[in-house]
Amino acid sequence: MKEPIIRLENVWKIYEVGKVKVPALKGISLTINKGEFVSVMGPSGSGKSTCMNMIGALDIPTRGRILLGNDDISKLTESDLAQIRGRKIGFIFQQFNLIPTLTALENVMLPMIFQGMSDEQRIKRAGELLGMVDLQDRVNHRPAELSGGQQQRVAIARSLANDPEIILADEPTGNLDTKTGENVLDFLGRLHREKGKTIVIVTHDNGIAKKSQRIEMLKDGKIVGVRK
């Protein structure tokens, strides 16, 4: 039996710009099952970023429901949302979003602080995760001392800090050269196959989307097709 992990039910997101209402999402319904590898693909302005914010519990819908497991996130406070995000979702961003004054080890440790782990536990787990992405010799380097690919691998390690059920990647290879980007995608594929992680990639790149099991096609705030 497939077990839904995220469900968007008739989700609308409408932004108000002055007196003008701008719909970014127009009644999207989408189910992502546990252990799936799904891409949400569309051109600029299609609503991809807004869709990512909904899937990742970074924002709530204007209308409709978003269920993360059994939790209807549209009814939660920001504090509760933050706790759910911290436990269940790991984020990988195009810009890496590492803290420049922290070492690789400290960047990976950061999400664990908010889940109440001890210093000893955080150091041990962060070291293990950096080893898993082949950065055991870079634990004390700051982001400026790392290549783009190394920074993205730190970001991947950080996304796994709290052993989330879902990895949500926003254009994860956008700032990388082709070969390094392929390596990042291969690693996400291994997380899916070997660790059973649910992977959701938001992208405009068909080559990246083809790595997934299913592609949800987005245009003008609506899902216009599904490819497998």
Q: Is residue 23 part of a domain?
A: no
Measured in degrees and rounded to the nearest 5, phi and psi for residue 120 equal -60, -45
Q: Is residue 1 part of a domain?
A: no
CATH number for the domain spanning 184: value is: 3.40.50.300
Query: Domain span at residue 137?
Result: 35-59+77-227
Q: Is residue 10 part of a domain?
A: no
Mean pLDDT, residues 182-211 taken together: 90
Q: Is residue 29 part of a domain?
A: no
Q: How many separate domains does the chain show?
A: 1
139, 103 contact by CB (below 8 A): yes
Q: Is residue 67 part of a domain?
A: no
Q: Is residue 28 part of a domain?
A: no
Whether 1 has a pLDDT exceeding 80, the answer reads no
Closest CA to 87 of 116, 122, 65: 116
The pLDDT of residue 95: 86
Tell me the pLDDT of the chain averaged across its residues: 91
Residues belonging to the chain = 228
Encoding tokens for residue 80? Answer: 């509760």
Q: What is the per-residue DSSP string for 84-152? A: HHHHHEEEEETT----TTS-HHHHHHHHHHTTT--HHHHHHHHHHHHHHTT-TT-TT--GGGS-HHHHH
**Which amino acid, 71?**
D
Q: Is residue 88 part of a domain?
A: yes
Mean pLDDT, residues 101-122 taken together: 91
Q: Is residue 27 part of a domain?
A: no
| Residue 71: strand pairing partners | 68
Q: Structure pTM?
A: 0.90
